[in-house]
Amino acid sequence: MGEAIVITSGKGGVGKTTATLNIGAALALKGAHVMLVDTDIGLRNLDVVMGLEDKIVYDLVDVVEGRCRLRQALVEDPRFFGRLHLLPAAQTRDKNVVTAEQMQGLIAELTQSVDFVLIDCPAGIEQGFQNAVAGAGSAVVVTMPEVSAVRDADRVIGLLRSYDLPAPRLIINRIRAGMVRRGDMMSTKDMLDVLGCELLGIIPDDETVIKAGNLGEPVARGNTQVSVAYRNIAARILGEEVPFQRLTGMKDGLIKRLMLKFG
Amino acid sequence: MLGREKTKDVARNRLSSVLREDRTAVSARDLALMQLDVLAALSAYLEMERDRAMVTVTKERLTGQTMLEFSVPVRSVKRRR
């Protein structure tokens, strides 16, 4: 039986969906069978980030309401040789059409056939959050080095304590090494000190993420610092001991300005 | 605008402040339930004016520490053998 992990954050826009895709892709690259479940009903995005938006016929709500079988709603990512699938959310329905019990049943069914089910949780802490967490066996909280994002992560970590789950693990996204060095961005340690979570990974802020998103490509397949960071997270989820990367940031100055201008 | 203070330190201080507020926020419903529980516990020892009991949450001025205060007028102490 597989493991169901919910990827959550509280605040929107911190990179949950990108993280869900790339952790899933990195696990699939390591040979695991992975199911990505978009639970953001009404605001689905995982299909677009994956570049599979034109492959969707049925969705999660169709499955729950019995209009199709589960297998009919799954979309295979052809780049991963049958190891990465998506169960898309409905785009035109309200998130309250699915109950926590229905989601629990669905996730339980999915874990029978894959190694990992990664549940992309919607922003907020209402019904959508409760549904996404209901079927999970563990949680990963994504945050970024901004006061509002860390505050919301703290709130979500507090809420997760009321579920029967192990302590959530933390991903810190969009770290800029140069800004941390200059004292203009909170460091990993600053955030871990206040949140008191186990660190699962650090993702540097990198424009390759935006480019990959434009192309509908998982950045985890590439050779950038971000790619390595996601593959390291996958390795840690698989129980490997992987040291955290020492992030290098491009120093500000003439060279950076020239590269931004001509690169 | 921000002088020589590192903006990260400002962020960290603001974060500590909002988290302290968030983590110690007690809802009115919970305060009411707490009041009932405290009264139930004390009633084994004291005769009290239950309708004048009060639970309040305050901040200590110097440390910012959240303080929970319970007050109730006592009519008499129940003597035990």
Helices A147-160 and A127-134: crossing angle in degrees, nearest 10, is 60
Does A187 contact B8 at a Cβ distance shorter than 8 Å? yes
* A16 — pLDDT class (breaks 50, 70, 90): very high
Cα–Cα distance for residue pair A7/A18, rounded to 1 Å? 10
* Site of tokens 């990963």: A140
A158 neighbourhood in chain B, CB within 8 Å: 23
Chain B within 8 Å of A186 (Cβ-Cβ)? yes
Q: What are the start-end ranges of the H helices in B1-81? A: 7-23, 28-42
Residue A222: closest CA among A59, A79, A46, A13: A79
Q: Could you tell me how far CA A203 lies from the centroid of its own chain?
A: 12
Nearest by CB to residue B19, choosing from A151, A180, A186, is A151
Contacts of B38 by beta carbon, 8 Å cutoff, 6+ apart: B53, B55, B70
Chain B within 8 Å of A123 (Cβ-Cβ)? no
- Quick: pLDDT tens for A186-232: 999 999 999 989 999 999 999 999 999 999 999 999 999 999 999 99
A184 neighbourhood in chain B, CB within 8 Å: 6-8
Lowest-confidence segment of A2-16, A28-42, A100-114, B51-65 by average pLDDT: B51-65
B4, B7, B15, best to mutate vs chain A, most A CBs in 10 Å: B15
Does B15 contact A151 at a Cβ distance shorter than 8 Å? yes
DSSP B5: S
Does B8 contact A190 at a Cβ distance shorter than 8 Å? yes
Chain B within 8 Å of A196 (Cβ-Cβ)? no
pLDDT of residue A69: 94
- Quick: pLDDT tens for A26-82: 999 999 999 999 999 989 999 999 999 999 999 999 999 999 999 999 999 999 999
Interface of B with A in 13-42 (CB under 8 A): 14-16, 18-19, 22-23
B6 neighbourhood in chain A, CB within 8 Å: 182-184
Instruction: State the nearest Cα–Cα gap between B2 and chain A, in angstroms.
Output: 11
Nearest by CB to residue A184, choosing from B7, B15, B23, is B7
A183 neighbourhood in chain B, CB within 8 Å: 6-9
Q: Convert B1-24 to b/e letters by CB count within 10 Å (16 or more is b).
A: eeeeeeebeebbeebeeebeeeee
* A237 — pLDDT class (breaks 50, 70, 90): very high
CB-CB contact of A6 with A87 (8 Å): no
Does A186 contact B6 at a Cβ distance shorter than 8 Å? no
Q: For chain A, give the mean pLDDT.
A: 91
ipTM over 0.85: no
